[in-house]
Chains A and B, each alone.
Chain A
Amino acid sequence: MRNIKTHKVEQLIMAAVAFFWCFLMWFSSAAFVPTIASQFDLSVKGVALLASSAIWTAPIARPLAGWAADKFGAPKAFVLILVLTGTFSILSAYAEKLGPAIGVSEYHFLFWTRVIVATAGISFVVGIQHVAQWFESEEMGTAEGLYAGTGNVGAGVGALLLPRIYGLDYHTAFVHLGIVAFIIAGWILLRGVPAKSAEQAAMAKKTATFRDTAFVWTRHAAIALMLAYAMSFGLEIGMNAWLPGYYKMGFEEAIRELGFKTLQDVQIAAGSFAAVQSFNASLFRPFSGWISDVWQRKGWTPFPMISKHLEYAPRIHWLMFALLSITTTMILLTVAGLQNNLVLSVLILALFGVTVSFGTGGTFAIVPLMFKERPGTATGFIGGISCVGGIIYPLIYGEAAGWFEVGGIHWGYALVAICMFIPFILYFIWAMHWDVHPEEHGFGSKEKWLGKGS
């Protein structure tokens, strides 16, 4: 390991800045969708395809990024992601010349280079692994929360500032985003250190094998935490895509009564309501990590059946509280919708965003502690596969709208909560009932996956 004098706070800031910038690049295409759609005369289907393409690579590439962070160290993984996505960000700005030069249309060149830029979102797992390698277990919730919460704001900041700074000129924006990515990569190359000790870095490297990956992916605790993250982060990104349309379709009359008469005005109002969820879910995330630290310090373990004797048991109980809160607010969203009460619905939505942040912050206050020897692999699995939720939930909401004669569009939340989240919670309770090494119980024994003497 490199002999550089550093402090863990410098490593935390470095990881948070890199993740913030990656998140900004991840959703920078979305900020310019109206301009791109207008320039290339895209249909509604084309716009939806462009918007959804940002999430395509996450479920597959995040586990790979986690493995790479364990194997090569987080700084190298960060540099690789920033250089790759920064390069393609700059290339995408010259689609007009480069596309025809290689025999494809300008739009196809732009679309596929932006899909590669969107892989910047995989950097989440790299930073989680990096922070886990530097901070003590008692401060893990706050440290991981500060890292992830601050980074997640990149999406909101991008949506808010990019169109204001660059107007319709997305080409210049993509070039500048790429250049800054190179600068951050240079900083990490100079100052990044994989772990607080050589032993810790070596341990993570040693466990970055196919057998270890298969072992983690088949553990009940890892699957339960993945489902918990699908109930929180998966739900958050799914709701980001769903909510503006929901408020427009579900509350159009009520919104018009507020004074928003034209279609464009209704869209602005619906977007404002939806943004409340996004901001709360992102910015309360560090707060949730801190609450996890508080529960740990106080030793609070209120729920029956879940282990009370694990070293980090209070953090599991805090996540359990978060999962129950998310399920409750989902059902309340349906109740408010069925009453056609817009004010109540938006207030519950604000609370819902906070409960989602409890889930995201709570999950990653546990993962690095439970999978101490394989933080990257576990984070890749939990943070990657859970993104599938972002694709599935909106589809269920849409289908549910056709199943009920009255208020169909409001029923989706309660259906997901009752038919999916309650079984997820029951599995979570069962997976977390072991008092000793819950991370070792799963499909197939430890010996089977890792060999004898493991």
Chain B
Amino acid sequence: MSGHSTQRDDYEYEPWYKYGVAFLFFEAAIAIAVSIYALSMAFSGQAVQFKKKVTFDKPKTAIESESTREQQDHSTITVPAKEE
């Protein structure tokens, strides 16, 4: 790239400038981290873990429900299917 009369390589910045540059690198690092996180979550198919999983099931009797209650994952909500 060509150098011209605009060249000011000797300009001395004030002390705040280096902190400002450090902060903008920090912001750029956050952007990269967020991108990697979002993409890895999405491409591994795990983004769904942010919400509760909803499954549809036939209504169970009170005894069946009692026996299976403890086996259920806390993140699973069972929605009874409507009776025909």
Which residues of A approach B to under 8 Å, CB–CB?
A: 8-9, 138-139, 142-143, 145-146, 149-150, 153, 258-260, 264-265, 268-269, 272-273, 275-276, 279-280, 282-284, 286-287, 289-290, 296-302, 308-314, 343, 346, 350
Q: With a CB–CB cut-off of 8 A, which chain B residues contact A258?
A: 42-43, 45
Q: Separation in Å of the A181 CB from the closest CB of chain B?
A: 24
Residue of A nearest to B10 (CB): A297
Give 24 CB contacts A-B under 8 Å.
Answer: A8-B16, A138-B11, A139-B17, A145-B24, A146-B20, A149-B24, A259-B45, A260-B47, A269-B47, A272-B47, A275-B34, A275-B38, A276-B38, A279-B35, A280-B35, A284-B31, A297-B8, A299-B2, A299-B4, A302-B1, A302-B2, A310-B6, A346-B42, A350-B35
Whole-angstrom CA separation of A258 from B42 in the bound complex: 8
Q: With a CB–CB cut-off of 8 A, which chain B residues contact A8?
A: 16
The answer to whether A280 touches B31 (Cβ under 8 A) is: yes
Contact digits for B6-19, partner A, Cβ 8 Å, 1 yes 0 no:
11110101101100
- A313 with B4, Cβ < 8 A, contacts A272-B41, A273-B42 known: yes
- A314 with B42, Cβ < 8 A, contacts A283-B30, A298-B1 known: no
Residue of A nearest to B19 (CB): A9
Q: Give the contacts of B23-59 with A (CB-CB under 8 A).
A: 23-25, 27-28, 30-31, 34-35, 38-39, 41-43, 45, 47-48, 50-51
- A301 with B2, Cβ < 8 A, contacts A142-B20, A284-B28 known: yes
- A287 with B48, Cβ < 8 A, contacts A138-B11, A280-B35 known: no
The answer to whether A286 touches B5 (Cβ under 8 A) is: no
- A268 with B48, Cβ < 8 A, contacts A284-B31, A302-B1, A308-B4 known: yes
Contact residues of B: prevailing secondary structure: helix
Task: Give the residue of A138, A309, A346 whose beta carbon is less than 8 angstroms from that of B4.
Answer: A309
- A346 with B39, Cβ < 8 A, contacts A272-B47, A300-B1, A308-B2 known: yes
The answer to whether B25 touches A287 (Cβ under 8 A) is: yes
- A287 with B8, Cβ < 8 A, contacts A269-B42, A276-B38 known: no
Task: Give the residue of B6, B11, B31 whose beta carbon is less than 8 angstroms from that of A279.
Answer: B31
Q: Separation in Å of the A303 CB from the closest CB of chain B?
A: 10
The answer to whether B31 touches A283 (Cβ under 8 A) is: yes
- A298 with B9, Cβ < 8 A, contacts A260-B48, A350-B35 known: yes
Q: With a CB–CB cut-off of 8 A, which chain A residues contact B5?
A: 299, 309
- A139 with B31, Cβ < 8 A, contacts A260-B48, A272-B39 known: no
Taking the complex as formed, is B21 at the interface, i.e. its CB lies under 8 A from any CB of chain A? yes
Whole-angstrom CA separation of A9 from B47 in the bound complex: 40
The answer to whether A139 touches B42 (Cβ under 8 A) is: no
Which residues of B approach A to under 8 Å, CB–CB?
A: 1-9, 11, 13-14, 16-17, 20-21, 23-25, 27-28, 30-31, 34-35, 38-39, 41-43, 45, 47-48, 50-51
Residue of B nearest to A7 (CB): B16
Whole-angstrom CA separation of A289 from B27 in the bound complex: 13
Q: With a CB–CB cut-off of 8 A, which chain A residues contact B50?
A: 268
- A283 with B14, Cβ < 8 A, contacts A297-B9, A308-B4, A312-B6 known: no
Residue of B nearest to A259 (CB): B45
Which 7 A-B residue pairs are closest in the complex by CB-CB distance?
A259-B45, A299-B7, A283-B31, A286-B24, A300-B1, A272-B42, A299-B3
Q: Separation in Å of the A223 CB from the closest CB of chain B?
A: 24
The answer to whether A139 touches B47 (Cβ under 8 A) is: no
Q: With a CB–CB cut-off of 8 A, which chain B residues contact A280?
A: 31, 35
The answer to whether A268 touches B47 (Cβ under 8 A) is: yes
Q: With a CB–CB cut-off of 8 A, which chain B residues contact A282?
A: 31
Whole-angstrom CA separation of A138 from B20 in the bound complex: 14
Whole-angstrom CA separation of A301 from B2 in the bound complex: 6
Residue of B nearest to A288 (CB): B24
The answer to whether B30 touches A296 (Cβ under 8 A) is: no
Q: With a CB–CB cut-off of 8 A, which chain A residues contact B21?
A: 142, 290
The answer to whether A260 touches B45 (Cβ under 8 A) is: yes
Task: Give the residue of A275, A283, A298, A350 whose beta carbon is less than 8 angstroms from that of B27.
Answer: A283
- A287 with B28, Cβ < 8 A, contacts A138-B11, A138-B13, A276-B38 known: yes
The answer to whether B6 touches A283 (Cβ under 8 A) is: no
- A296 with B8, Cβ < 8 A, contacts A143-B20, A280-B31, A302-B2 known: yes
Q: Separation in Å of the A143 CB from the closest CB of chain B?
A: 7
Residue of B nearest to A310 (CB): B6
The answer to whether A313 touches B6 (Cβ under 8 A) is: yes
